[in-house]
Structures are given as structure tokens and as C-alpha cells.
Amino acid sequence: QVQLVESGGGLVQAGGSLRLSCAASGRTFSTYAMGWFRQAPGKEREFVAGINRSDNTAYADSVKGRFTISRDNAKNTVYLQMNSLKPEDTAVYYCAANSAGYIRTNEQRYDDWGQGTQVTVSS
């Protein structure tokens, strides 16, 4: 089990950028696959991006070319760089850990979750 703490959310104008961070506890962080999900008001939580222990990545079609996921195993941290933000990116963003080490788009496959960080994009 890992504890996850997100940071970096905030209010930004459309077209702007934010970088989210997710700090993880535990010695086995480097073996986990990590994912970012988001939940907008009135909508279900959805997959945004994932990265496995080999630094392979996957993205939702809605964020491809705008968002980049990365990890720094020395710092036990995963990042989500978000560029060209749109109002429809407004949501609470969560990071999640998959101990099996595989990127999954299904939230049920993730073992541990952070508390979330709010991202608001104004038009």
C-alpha cells in the first residue's frame, strides 16, 4: 500500500498550463504503474493518463498532445504536465497506484488513491 498526495491544482485561464504532482510513500514506488484520473461535476471519474515502471505511457484521446505524464522514482513522484488547457478540463484530478505494474484505464484496477486536487480552467 502507498499513500498518495496530490498538489499543483488551481485556477488558470484557457490556453494556460499547470503541473500536477503526486508524492507517494513506500519503497516500492518504482514498481507501480501510476495513473491520473479526473472527475468533473456530475460526471463519472475518467482515465486521463498512465505510466508504467518502464516509462511507457498512455493517454485519453481528449488530452493527447496536450498532457504529459512522467515520473521521478528518486523522488517517489509522478507528474502531469497540462498545457493548452480548456474549460472542459475542469475537474478534480486524482492520482492512483496499480501495484501490478500495468497501465489500466479502469479505475477499479487501481489499489490506492490520493485525495484529489481541483483544477479549474476559466474561459
Give, in order, the Cα–Cα distances in Å from 22 to each of 3, 76, 117: 10, 8, 10
Q: By C-alpha distance, which of 77, 88, 97 is closest to 7?
A: 77
Q: By C-alpha distance, which of 34, 74, 66 is closest to 51?
A: 34
Radius of gyration, alpha carbons of the chain: 13
* Half-sphere exposure in the Cβ direction for 79 (13 Å, CA): 11
pLDDT in tens, 65-100: 999 999 999 999 999 999 999 999 999 999 999 999
Tell me which residues of the chain have a pLDDT lower than 70.
none
Cell numbers given for 56: 511507457
What is the structure's pLDDT at 1?
Answer: 84
What is the structure's pLDDT at 121?
Answer: 98
Q: Is 36 exposed, middle or buried (0-12, 13-18, 19+ CB in 10 A)?
A: buried
What is the structure's pLDDT at 38?
Answer: 98
